[in-house]
Amino acid sequence: MEIRHCTDRRFENICDSTKALLTHEDTGYVSTYYERSAMRLLTEHGRIFIKGRSGSGKSRLGIRLLATLSENKSRTPVLLTSAEEWKLIPKTTAHDRRRYIVMLDDVFGSSNFVPSSVDGWKRTFDIMWPSIESKHIFLVITSRPEISIQCENELKKYDLMQDMPCVTLDEGEYILQESEKRKMLQTICPTKSGLMPKEIQDIASARATLGFPQCCKFFASSKQAQSKGVSFLFQAA
């Protein structure tokens, strides 16, 4: 009884801090084609893998999906940080029919591949699968591609990871369109909203190791970057 009580309290704490994260406003959110695609894939398949380089917007997109689905479909949003926390999610019963949307951000490590984290998830994927397959729980996972590639082959044998719909931000069909980049510039760093069309075109066609939203964020907060003007964004974008 005491153990159940502690488990419930831990889970409530996780739910409370997730809600706090969802209501914390960073800058305004710029809606994108990749966001709409991710939402469609998630509602169709009940799970989605969001990949993308650092600063491309994986965490922000994941949080956005949690916020939208908790409002529209009344799913309880839950951000878990370790495999061990999965068992805290209450089982569905006749009295408790709550549904969830769970996010595992940087699931295999944030800046580096973390083998112990992968081992934890490997032990848990088969336990997770029935509630994801039945859509009792929706699942959002994120990772930088250079991290996830290190374990992708060994994870293919798990039902959960097989045919997992995937959106890679700012790659292929999900590449940011010029209009989306312009909106991001205006939303994240309003001081640069007076960019000339040629400058925007240059920014939109260039590439960098850091994601475009993060470049805008850095530009907005750095006097030094602002003094270098568009040449900074041009190098970084």
Q: Which residues bind ligand ATP (CB under 6 A)?
A: 26-27, 29-30, 32, 52, 54-60, 144, 184, 187-188, 211, 213-214, 217
Residue with Cβ nearer ligand ATP (51 or 89): 51
Residue with Cβ nearer ligand ATP (124 or 143): 143
Q: Which residues, in sequence order, are CB contacts of 61 under 8 Å at separation 6+?
A: 34, 35, 38, 50, 142, 169
Q: Cα separation of 20 and 215, whole Å?
A: 26
| Vertex 15: Cα angle to 87 and 82 (nearest 5) | 45
Q: Which residue has the tokens 């602002």?
A: 226
Q: Which residue has the tokens 């309003």?
A: 190
Distance of CA 144 to the CA centre of its chain: 10
Q: Which does 144 bind (CB under 5 to 8 A by kind): ligand ATP, Mg ion, none?
A: ligand ATP
The reply to whether 76 sits near Mg ion by the rule CB under 5 A is no
| Crossing angle for the helix pair 58-72 and 2-23, to the nearest 10 degrees | 110
CB atoms under 10 Å from CB of 30, counted, come to: 20
Q: Which does 30 bind (CB under 5 to 8 A by kind): Mg ion, ligand ATP, none?
A: ligand ATP
Q: At its nearest, how many Å lie between ligand ATP and the CB of residue 104? A: 13
* Piece of the chain touching Mg ion by CB under 5 A; list 51-59, 85-93, 145-153, 181-189: 51-59
- Torsion over CA: 215, 219, 221, 225 (sign): positive
Q: Which does 46 bind (CB under 5 to 8 A by kind): Mg ion, ligand ATP, none?
A: none
Q: At its nearest, how many Å lie between ligand ATP and the CB of residue 147? A: 9
Residue with Cβ nearer Mg ion (63 or 132): 63
**For residue 77, what are the β-bridge partners?**
101
Q: At its nearest, how many Å lie between ligand ATP and the CB of residue 202? A: 20
Interface with Mg ion (CB under 5 A), residue from 59, 76, 124, 148: 59
Q: At its nearest, how many Å lie between ligand ATP and the CB of residue 236? A: 13
Task: Find the binding residues for Mg ion in span 107-136 (CB under 5 A).
Answer: none
Q: At its nearest, how many Å lie between Mg ion and the CB of residue 54? A: 8
Q: At its nearest, how many Å lie between Mg ion and the CB of residue 86? A: 20
**For residue 138, what are the β-bridge partners?**
101
Cβ–Cβ < 8 Å for 41, 28: no
**Binding stretches for Mg ion (CB under 5 A):** 59
